[in-house]
Amino acid sequence: MSDDREKGPQIIDAHQELVRHIEQGAGRIRILSILTVVVAALLAVSYVSQLALPLTGTTTVTVSLTDPSNVAIEVVVLALALVWLYVGANDLRFSWRMKGEIRTARAKEKDIQDRIS
């Protein structure tokens, strides 16, 4: 029993260090996810506008917008941008959930410390 009491503070310190590390990582993920969402959204809008340009009557700018190879490349790049947007949004949702989970864990940790004191 005395071993448990001696290891208790070490376990709490290790747990707090782990939670601090997770919080820092979650912050980085959140920032990168926001940047990813912004960049992917800009790319998606750009490629949609390029695909819609021939519908407005513009068929040539510097290249032929009706060339099947150009349209195919635009569609592929648009698909990649949308996948990038999806991944960024999922990472952002995950980091927000993680932030809530960490907040809950901190509250429980504080409650335990109050009971111990």
Task: Give per-residue pLDDT as tens, 43-91.
Answer: 889 888 888 888 888 877 677 778 899 889 888 888 888 888 888 788 7
H or E element in which residue 87 lies: helix 68-116
Closest-CA residue to 37 (of 81, 97, 89): 89
Quickly state the pLDDT bin for 3 (edges 50, 70, 90).
low
Tell if the pTM clears 0.85, that is, is over it: no
| Rounded CA separation 109/15 (Å) | 10
H or E element in which residue 67 lies: none
Q: List the chain domain ranges.
A: 2-116
**Contact call for residues 97 and 73 (beta carbons, < 8 A):** no
Give the end-to-end CA distance of the chain in Å, rounded to a whole number. Answer: 18
Residue type, 20: R
**Contact call for residues 54 and 65 (beta carbons, < 8 A):** yes
